[in-house]
Structure 1
Amino acid sequence: MSRVCEVCGKGPIVVNSVIRRGKARAAGGVGRKVTGVTKRFQKPNLQPLTVTRAGVSVRMRVCNKCRKSLI
């Protein structure tokens, strides 16, 4: 269960990486053309956080959004 937030369960997602060429119409060109689409992963921003539970220190890997809400 690496790359997954231990609080909210946020994990990696698959997105498209779009490669374009050309000049935008607003800038006087003929428009941008899509020349390639490949899949890539976006990983969550996981940070280590030490939490004290019942007198025991536990290290957790949580995303930055959950870390800000816990502190």
Structure 2
Amino acid sequence: MARVCEMCGKGPIVVNSVIRRGKARAAGGVGRKVTGVSKTRQLPNLQRVTIRKDGASVRLRICTKCMKNALAA
């Protein structure tokens, strides 16, 4: 599958993009109003990494969190 970490299985998530207008009450306005909500996708930060496994080099697409944990171990 595309856009999925091959180590942990992390994939894209769906979030709401909220558009607001107006001035906040704390700043002396009448308050912020929501004028639009649309769904967007947030993709994981995947990188191509070459790993030596049993004498053979294997290319994987893994997220940066897995890269960080692999280097720390």
Q: If the length of structure 2 is used for normalisation, what is the TM-score?
A: 0.95
Q: Distance in 2 between matches of 1:31 and 1:64?
A: 39
Q: Does 1:60 align with 2:60?
A: yes
- Cα distance per residue 1:2-57 (max 9 Å; x no partner): 10000000000100000000001111101100000000100000011111100000
TM-score scaled to structure 1, two decimals?
0.97
Q: Secondary structure at the match of 2:68?
A: helix
- The aligned residue for residue 38 of structure 1 is 38
- 1:26 is paired with a residue whose SS is helix
Q: Following superposition of structure 1 onto structure 2, how do residues 1-71 of structure 1 map, counting pairs within 5 Å?
A: 1-71=1-71
Aligned alpha-carbon RMSD (Å): 0.5
Give unmatched runs, 5+ long, in structure 2.
none
Identity value in percent:
72
SS of the equivalent of 1:41 reads strand
- Large movers: runs of 4+ above 4 Å: none
